Amino acid sequence: MTTTQKTQTVSTNPTMPTVFVCRPLPERGLAQLRGLANLKIWPGPLPPDRAQLLAGVAGCVGIASLVTDRMDGEVMDATATLKVICNVAVGYDNVDWRAAKARGVLVTNTPGVLTETSADMAWALLMAAARHIPQSAEFARAGNWKTWEFDKFLGRDVYGATLGIAGFGRIGQAVAKRAAGFGMRILYHNRNRNEAAELALGAQFVSKDELLRHSDFVSLNMSMNESSRHFIGVRELALMKPTAVLINTARGPVVDTAALTEAMQTRRIFAAALDVTDPEPLPYTHPLYALDNVIIVPHLASATVDTRGRMAEIACANMAAVLRGERPPNVIAELAG
């Protein structure tokens, strides 16, 4: 348990500022901070609990946070010297940027580096759900493969199907790019229409409801904010084709978990594949795990050796810039002005 964990202070040089790093990050990132700051590194793998976090950040000028670490006004107030929160993620719904703005604290993220890796994961889940990959692999491993069964594990065709992408930013567009090899019709919905991307990717802008009605695969790729909360609920699930597959690699609260559970229990749609859940982690007793039409993986979209290494590098480069008295390169849009 985290209560037994101690924060490591790797170096203590009284002339240098101190930063709190919420988990051991790859050295290719941390190396940029050595010589600029004392590092207090939470050993993980579990996040620091609230008391540990508040105690850990005290006296620090910077915090390198993960998506699991809630950065709110209370945490910011626990260190009077705080200048920057460097989130090691592209999403920053765990950071109260309004509280940061009010306190003059900068917030940075790691945009760009995880686009392709996250799009790969959306596709991995799409294919896995369409063709029952985890369920059938488990079936074989358990010794149940007795013969070639004509009607077992029948999936859905991907080639030539309609892919609906909700959220057409960097990751959504990278998901679309991959569809070209599958001869798919691509629909998208986004707050703003993007005609250049439409042309480049052969995608068609549609309303949210049209997307839900006409797509065989619905991939959620928007960022989490007040307007994307419960983007998929009872009404939306009712609009989807009974043969449709829902893929969520965005953020858990984009989908209403209770509505999804009911829809999957009653087989309202064909399958759901979730990289993110609400709450997160989803307790292992949750009824969604018991369903053979649901795949849940533990928030892995950016989880490749190279991408996680580059995320650490970028987050630490942001931190290093602040420590050198420079403007960090990846200040989040809300604070960039």
Nearest alpha-carbon partner for 92 in 337, 298, 252, 332? 332
For the chain, how far is it from start to end, CA to CA, in angstroms?
41
| Angle, CA 219 vertex, CA 133 and CA 287 arms, to 5° | 60
Which stretch of DSSP H or E encloses residue 196? Answer: helix 195-201
Two tokens at 305? 């050796």
Q: 211 in helix, strand or coil?
A: helix
280 is catalytic: yes
For ligand GLV, give the closer residue by CB, 89 or 323: 89
Nearer to ligand GLV, 37 or 86 (CB): 86
Phi, psi of 255 (to 5 degrees): -115, 135
Q: Whole-number minimum distance, CB 113 to ligand GLV, in Å?
A: 9
Complex with ligand GLV: residue 120 or 216, whichever CB lies closer: 120
What is the DSSP secondary-structure string of 57-120?
HTT-SEEEE-TTS-B-HHHHHT-TT--EEEESSS--TTB-HHHHHHHT-EEE---STTHHHHHH
Does the active-site annotation cover 299? yes
Residue of 92, 151, 136, 132 whose CA lies nearest to 335: 92
Q: Which residues contact 146 (CB under 8 A, 6 or more apart)?
A: none
Catalytic entry in 132, 214, 251, 268: 251
Toward ligand GLV, which CB reaches closer, 67 or 166?
Answer: 67
| Binding footprint of ligand GLV on the chain (CB under 6 A) | 67, 89-91, 114, 301-302
Question: In the bound complex, what is the minimum distance in angstroms from residue 194's beta carbon to ligand GLV?
Answer: 21
State the Cα–Cα distance between residues 302 and 300, nearest whole angstrom.
Answer: 6
Q: In whole angstroms, give the CA distance from residue 217 to residue 239.
A: 13
Q: How far is the CB of 319 from ligand GLV (least distance, A)?
A: 16
Q: For ligand GLV, which is the closer residue by CB, 97 or 270?
A: 97
Query: 132 an active-site residue?
Result: no
Among candidate residues 13, 22, 200, the one with its CA nearest the CA of residue 95: 22
From the list 198, 210, 262, 280, the catalytic residue is 280
C-beta of 21 vs 186, nearer to ligand GLV: 21
Q: Pick the catalytic residue: 132, 189, 214, 299?
A: 299
- Cβ 155 to ligand GLV, closest distance in Å? 27
Rounded to a whole number of angstroms, the minimum distance from the CB of residue 149 to ligand GLV is 38
Smallest distance, Å, CB 90 to ligand GLV? Answer: 4
Catalytic residues, by residue number, are: 251, 280, 299
